[in-house]
Chain A
Amino acid sequence: DGGITQSPKYLFRKEGQNVTLSCEQNLNHDAMYWYRQDPGQGLRLIYYSQIVNDFQKGDIAEGYSVSREKKESFPLTVTSAQKNPTAFYLCASSIEGGRTDTQYFGPGTRLTVL
């Protein structure tokens, strides 16, 4: 099956800890994205990458970091600097990252800070 997988589905973290969310795709897409979803806010872009070893900040990158060492993988680290990390995190990918491309979404990871 082709698609995007995110793990884990639920994640709990203590304050002050870094945590890494996994995102893998086997669609052979060049572009990958991370979004954060809060109730009533829609989705907001954290980081995106259009090619391996390159990525760009989105609208709310503070307190987050990413890497893109492989085409298939785009992990997101939520650092202790992120002031309010409890949210639903969604990863997406698209063929080339062009503005008419469809983005395909993973099932999401719900992060809760205790």
Chain B
Amino acid sequence: AQSVTQLDSHVSVSEGTPVLLRCNYSSSYSPSLFWYVQHPNKGLQLLLKYTSAATLVKGINGFEAEFKKSETSFHLTKPSAHMSDAAEYFCVVSSGGSQGNLIFGKGTKLSVKP
């Protein structure tokens, strides 16, 4: 069965410092992995996705994530945080089979201090 674990429920950084949001996954096959961002009371927006091509995936707003099969990780990073990055971030794995059902982590809330 597929599962995903976000290792931090809350991360706080200062503006201009790096961001690291950690995600580990479990999958019995080659997974599709996604990072979504959600601002308060809004829908989810796709940041980036991995689907077995390049292991370093670049997304929108300067975010990127690296797929590491040996560590079963898909951590999200950004070199320099901006105030507008404050939001909740979800790591997601596709559930497998021919269907695209997604399994969501519980989310990491990112706070950015001025």
Interface residues of A (CB under 8 A from B): 4, 6, 31, 33, 40-45, 48, 50, 58, 88, 90, 92, 94, 96-108, 110
Contact A100 B32, CB 8 Å, known A31-B100, A90-B43, A108-B41: yes
CA of A110 to CA of B87 in the docked complex: distance in angstroms? 18
Per-residue 0/1 for B25-46: is the Cβ within 8 Å of any A Cβ (1 yes, 0 no)? Answer: 0000000101010000111111
Would B97 and A107 count as touching, CB distance under 8 A?
no
Q: Which residue of B lies closest to A98 (CB)?
A: B100
Taking CB atoms, residues of chain A closer than 8 Å to B45 are 105
Assess whether B99 is in contact with A42, with CB atoms less than 8 Å apart. Answer: no
The chain B residues found within 8 Å of chain A, CB to CB, are: 9, 32, 34, 36, 41-46, 49, 51, 90, 94-102, 104-107
Chain A residues with CB under 8 A of B42: 107-108
Q: Which residues of A contact B51 (CB under 8 A)?
A: 100
Residues in B whose Cβ lies below 8 Å from that of A105 = 36, 43-45
Are A43's CB and B90's CB within 8 A?
A: yes
Q: How far is B45's CA from A102's CA once the two chains are assembled, in angstroms?
A: 10
Residues from chain B with Cβ under 8 Å of A6 in the complex: 43
What is the CA–CA distance of A97 and B107 in the complex, to the nearest angstrom? 23
Contact B96 A102 (CB under 8 A): no
In the assembled complex, how far is the CB of residue A26 from the closest CB belonging to chain B, in whole angstroms? 15
B104 is contacted by which of A31, A42, A50 (Cβ under 8 Å)? A42
Q: Assess the B43–A99 pair: CB atoms within 8 A.
A: no
